[in-house]
Structure 1
Amino acid sequence: MAMVKMSGVLMVVSLVVGLVSVVSAISGTATYYTPPYVPSSCYGYQNNGVMIAAASDAIWNNRAACGRRYRVTCVGATNQGVPQPCRGNGVIVKIVDYCPPGCAGTIDLSQEAFAMIADPNAGKIRIEYNQLSLSISC
């Protein structure tokens, strides 16, 4: 009987945690940029791999975004060119650069990160993103 109660409690906790992470996701748009990825505004000539992104003014906050990690998920198209661009994956990226005013997206993903979540032919996609805690590593 205790095992059944514990299983029920675990199911409820899992459901609540899942709902909290959905609620905390922020809607935006993503574009992508191509190599070379260095130098970057945050790290100069330090190579941070390819699971990286540039932050627009929406999240840049005068360099405070540098080093933050975001989980980014494609949720749909922004144009009719590629009506179903999403691949069904999410990606975790580290902010290493700044996408200056006029940036077409909330987050400008590396080409490799964008290709993991969407068809690059789309160019720009609708996303949901949320900042991860500092303990998450890529």
Structure 2
Amino acid sequence: MARVFMIISLVACLVSVAYAASGTATYYTPPYVPSSCYGYQDNGVMIAAASDVIWNNRAACGRNYRVTCTGPTNQGVPQPCRGSVVVKIVDYCPPGCAGTIDLSQEAFARIADPNAGKVRIDYQQV
């Protein structure tokens, strides 16, 4: 029974990794209100703005994404990554947005050194 559970767990982990998309993350600074999705409602600081890649005419509003730093966007920069974070989409990052997901400054600092400015990421809806 333990062996079956372990195999199922392994398959579940591989499936969840398979659905992650790749992109880039940048960050924006306060104030975080008003936002395109919630106006003047405060949604905390673990938030993000979605670029056209995931915005889908406001359908992304309220969705949660796990964002994991995978590396620097510039070759000469030391490894900026610190891990992953779950954020809620509360805003829109208009055309010309420099990243796939524009994280709040606090969320970006959880996954990478803010001095990097922009990092490569994997992201998936959770």
TM-score by length of 2: 0.98
The correspondence for 1:119, drawn from 85, 95, 113, is: 113
Question: Matches of 1:83 and 1:74 in 2, distance apart?
Answer: 13
Is 2:101 aligned against 1:107?
yes
Q: Which residue of 2 aligns with 1:135?
A: none
Q: Which residue of 1 aligns with 2:13?
A: 18
Q: Deviations over 1:64-100 (max 9, x none)?
A: 100000000000000135320101x210000000000
The correspondence for 1:73, drawn from 52, 55, 68, is: 68
Q: Structure 2: any 5+ residue segments left out of the alignment? A: none
Q: Which residue of 2 aligns with 1:56?
A: 51
Two-structure CA RMSD over aligned residues (Å): 0.8
Q: Which residue of 2 aligns with 1:35?
A: 30
Larger radius of gyration: 1
Question: Matches of 1:83 and 1:129 in 2, distance apart?
Answer: 22
SS at structure 1 position matched to 2:5: helix
Q: Structure 1: any 5+ residue segments left out of the alignment? A: 1-5, 133-138
| Amino acid in the other structure paired with 2:110 | M
Runs of 4+ in 1 over 6 A off after TM superposition: none
SS at structure 2 position matched to 1:18: helix
Question: Matches of 1:9 and 1:75 in 2, distance apart?
Answer: 31
Residues matched between the structures, number: 126
TM-score by length of 1: 0.89
